């Protein structure tokens, strides 16, 4: 790869990172398109990978993460832990930006839970008088696209997204949109440790 192409990929990855963190764009493809248009680069042939963009996001966080950002991330993780405690019976796992520390504008905590049906989770929320609305999450697994049932929990002023998986899906994490490898999941104990350690990036 030529130096010019490498430089273009780095610049595009940095702009994608800024767009995702500061402008609330949460889709890698949309961020790439917006960055290529904004920088007037031919992004079709030499777009950065999702992994390169996430690395740029983490670099951006290390350089510019301030006390306000840390407080926002901590609040996001605390909201996730509250939801995990409410849904303890469904073995909740935290995933995504709230776990890895790349949460930006408009990010929300995302949990995976495991149940025989979404109705089981709904009944548990109703018993605890927790407000929710039903949603769906598009899950890409290789070339297959699957719709997973989900719930958007209302906890005070915060929303936590819950994606409902079958019981046996706890043994195999779905592929990450970043690199296709099994998505990292953290249980409540790991999240409590993150909060105790005060870590931004996990």
110 and 143, same domain (yes or no): yes
Paired sense of beta strands 158-165 and 93-95, if any = unpaired
132 and 177, same domain (yes or no): yes
122 and 166, same domain (yes or no): yes
Q: How far is CA 139 from CA 8, 165, 169, in A?
A: 30, 11, 13
116 and 183, same domain (yes or no): yes
pTM here is 0.82
116 and 184, same domain (yes or no): yes
* pLDDT in the model for residue 201: 65
Choose the final residue of a domain: 13, 34, 64: 64
* pLDDT in the model for residue 171: 92
Total structural domains within the chain? 2
Q: What is the mean pLDDT of each run of 10 residues along the chain (202 residues)?
A: 78 92 86 89 77 90 81 93 97 94 87 97 96 90 83 94 96 87 94 87 64
Choose the final residue of a domain: 38, 64, 90: 64
170 and 182, same domain (yes or no): yes
Q: For the CA atoms of the chain, what is the radius of gyration?
A: 18
154 and 88, same domain (yes or no): yes
DSSP 175: B
* pLDDT in the model for residue 2: 62
Q: Which domain holds residue 79?
A: 67-197
79 and 131, same domain (yes or no): yes
96 and 138, same domain (yes or no): yes
162 and 129, same domain (yes or no): yes
Tell whether the torsion through CA atoms of 169, 95, 111 and 84 is positive or negative: positive
* pLDDT in the model for residue 22: 87
109 and 175, same domain (yes or no): yes
- Residue 19: its H or E element: helix 3-22
Strand 144-155: give its sheet, edge to edge.
93-95, 109-114, 158-165, 144-155, 131-141
* pLDDT in the model for residue 43: 55
Sequence-distant (6+) residues with CB within 8 A of 171 are none
Q: Is residue 79 part of a domain?
A: yes
* pLDDT in the model for residue 166: 96
Choose the final residue of a domain: 43, 64, 85: 64
* pLDDT in the model for residue 113: 98
């Amino acid at each position: 790869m030529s130096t010019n192409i490498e430089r273009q990929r780095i610049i595009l990855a940095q702009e994608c990172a800024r767009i995702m963190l500061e402008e609330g764009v949460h889709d890698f493809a949309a961020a790439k398109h917006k960055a290529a248009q904004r920088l007037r680069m031919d992004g079709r042939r030499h777009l950065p990978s999702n992994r390169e963009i996430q690395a740029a996001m983490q670099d951006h966080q290390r350089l510019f993460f301030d006390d306000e950002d840390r407080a926002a991330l901590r609040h996001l993780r605390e909201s996730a832990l509250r939801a995990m405690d409410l849904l303890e019976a469904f073995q909740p796992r935290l995933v995504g930006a709230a776990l890895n520390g790349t949460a930006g504008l408009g990010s929300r905590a995302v949990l995976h839970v495991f149940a025989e049906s979404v109705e089981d989770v709904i009944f548990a929320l109703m018993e605890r008088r927790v407000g929710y609305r039903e949603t769906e999450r598009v899950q890409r697994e290789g070339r297959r696209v699957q719709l997973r049932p989900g719930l958007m929990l209302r906890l005070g002023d915060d929303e936590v997204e819950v994606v409902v998986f079958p019981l046996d899906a706890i043994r195999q994490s779905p592929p990450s949109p970043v690199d296709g490898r099994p998505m990292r999941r953290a249980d409540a104990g790991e999240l409590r440790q993150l909060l105790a350690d005060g870590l931004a990036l996990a």
